[in-house]
Amino acid sequence: MDRSYVIEKATAYIKEAQTYIKEKVNTEYGIDTKANKDDLVTDVDKSVEALFQQRINEEFPGHRLMGEEGSHENIHDLDGVVWILDPIDGTVNFVHMGTNFAISLGIFENGKPVYGVVLDVMNDEWFTAEAGQGAYLNGRKLQKLNPVPLEKALVSFNTGWMLKDEKLREVVRTVRGTRSYGSAAIELAYVAAGRLDAYISFHLAPWDIAGGCILIEETGGIATNYKGEPLDFLEKDTLFAANPAVYKELREALKITI
């Protein structure tokens, strides 16, 4: 794979999708539900995925697309080059707020992430990372994450999880503060940039995390599932991503055995 050429084209496709989404965000579009009433999909999500599918087919016929809105159904392994795409991560935010959502793309070669992008569409923040080359925000290299004590940490998770887990409630009492942004991709990018110190989720798909996890790796963070196992980019799983120092303390606080 000519990595530089693939990155160049991926950037162009994302810019094209960003322009399209910005045009559509304040117009009328179709909205439907998937697994439940809160799991939304719009015509915009579907159109962005179709755009990527068309561009990849034209330029990289040997590559495959694993997208949230249907193309994932044909992907059962990560052999060769696979583009893992969430056309709009944070669709509820897109529909209700018109902001705080992202295009998330991870490009994998033989099961390994080689490039990742999380684009905060409306704020034009490009979080990018190339394997072995570091992570960047709008072209500025992100520094390696500095240790943070748990009592000074800002931790993100869906507040619904707290209602089900007493250990998470104890974490809330320990840390400096908690947040929930409604976009896993953005929250991963924020951990990589040091804006958050940890992000926990109990139900994410590969396209939710594929763009952001390489950002975490390239800034020295840790991203595993809730059991401390390597992430699975073919199935839905839990996620525990954090600054290394916070990861260690949270692991102990949550009684996670690794």
Domain boundaries, the chain: 3-141, 150-254
Residues 162 and 170: their CA atoms lie apart, in Å, by: 9
Q: Which of 175, 228, 218 is nearest to 198 (CA)?
A: 175
**What's the fold here for domain 3-141?**
Fructose-1,6-Bisphosphatase; Chain A, domain 1 (3.30.540)
**Total-model pTM:** 0.93
CA-CA distances (angstroms) from residue 21 to 43, 59, 94, 205? 11, 22, 10, 22
103 is in an annotated binding site: no
Task: Name every residue whose Cβ is closer than 8 Å to that of residue 15 and which is 6 or more positions away in sequence.
Answer: none
Q: What is the pLDDT of residue 73?
A: 73
Q: Has 68 been labeled as part of a binding site?
A: yes
Which has more pLDDT, 236 or 254?
236
- Identify whether the C-beta of residue 153 lies closer than 8 Å to the C-beta of residue 197: yes
pLDDT digits (tens, 9 = 90+) for 31-54: 777 666 666 678 898 999 999 999
To the question of domain 150-254 being in CATH 3.20.170.30, the answer is no
Over residues 194-205, the pLDDT tens digits come to: 999 999 998 899
Is 237 assigned a ligand-binding role in the annotation? no
In this prediction, residue 258 has a pLDDT band, given cuts at 50, 70 and 90, of very low
One DSSP character per residue, 60-109 reads -TT-EEEETTTGGGG-----SEEEEEEEEE-HHHHHHTS-S-EEEEEEEE
Judged against a pLDDT cut of 60, whether residue 151 lies above it is answered with yes
Q: Same CATH fold, 150-254 and 3-141?
A: no
- Mean pLDDT value across the chain: 91
Contact assessment for residue 219 and residue 135, using Cβ atoms and an 8 Å cutoff: yes
For residue 170, what pLDDT band results from cuts at 50, 70 and 90?
confident
More confident residue, 222 or 38: 222
Residues 133/154, Cβ–Cβ less than 8 Å: no
Q: pLDDT at residue 123 above 80?
A: yes
- Rounded to whole angstroms, how far apart are CA atoms 41 and 52? 17
Task: Please tell me which residue, 152 or 70, carries the higher pLDDT value.
Answer: 152
Residue 89 in marked binding region: yes
Residue 72's pLDDT is: 74
- Amino acid identity of 62? G
